[in-house]
Amino acid sequence: MLRRRDTVHRNRRSEQVQVGLDELFWPGVSTVDESDVDIPNDAAEDPKEPEPAGATLGVAFFGWLVASGTSVLLMALVGAVCAWIGWEKVQDWASGWFFVGLWALLVVSLGIGAFSGGYAGGRMVPAHGARQGLEVWLFSWCAAAVLAGVGYLAVRHQQLVANIEWPTLPVPASDRTRAALLASTAVLLITLIGAVLGGTSANRK
């Protein structure tokens, strides 16, 4: 029994000396076997970044600025091309259908602008791009409604709208209400799809 205790005691002392030498020559090196240490599952997995909150007003505002700026630039480009060619010559090409083409270009410009705004909103937030695009779309139409109301109140007493010579479309008078509803629906759908697609494409890695 004494020999066994002496042997165990010597083994422990040799282990302590070995550990001390390891720490002396290789500082920072742990001699503990990693297999004996229990690593929790949460620590073994890669840490996940916290999901950001939903769309914010600031993201929607800056996305609306990008969308409106892009749409205005595209429509200004179309107007500049028509002015360079000559409005009289362009109107004579297809009579009333010229204005139908202008409405189509307007819808396309709004769709591209909505895509740009949704993309900008999606790039500002690293997740939920479709939600950011939808938020930009809603904010854009709310801002458009507010600006339209302010403009109506500003020109109500001066009757500026009544003095404008609106272009005549090649649509019968009985179908103009239906055509206006279809055009409005097309604008809403195209801008909605463009904004959501823009936000979704912004989050793709």
Tokens, residue 97 = 């259908």
pLDDT in tens, 154-177: 777 565 555 555 555 556 666 667
Buried b / exposed e across 134-155, counting CB within 10 Å, b at 16+?
A: bbbbebbeebeeeeeeeeeeee
- Evaluate if residue 188 carries a pLDDT over 70: yes
How confident is the model at residue 130, as a pLDDT?
Answer: 85
Tokens, residue 194 = 């463009």
- Of residues 157 and 60, the one with the higher pLDDT is 60
How confident is the model at residue 66, as a pLDDT?
Answer: 92
The number of residues in the chain equals 205
Tokens, residue 65 = 């600025």
Please state the pTM of the whole predicted model: 0.63
The tally of CA atoms less than 13 A away on the side-chain side of residue 173 is: 0
Closest CA to 191 of 114, 135, 138: 114
Q: Where are the domains of the chain?
A: 58-202
Closest CA to 135 of 149, 120, 150: 120
How confident is the model at residue 37, as a pLDDT?
Answer: 46
Q: What percent of the chain has pLDDT over 90?
A: 20
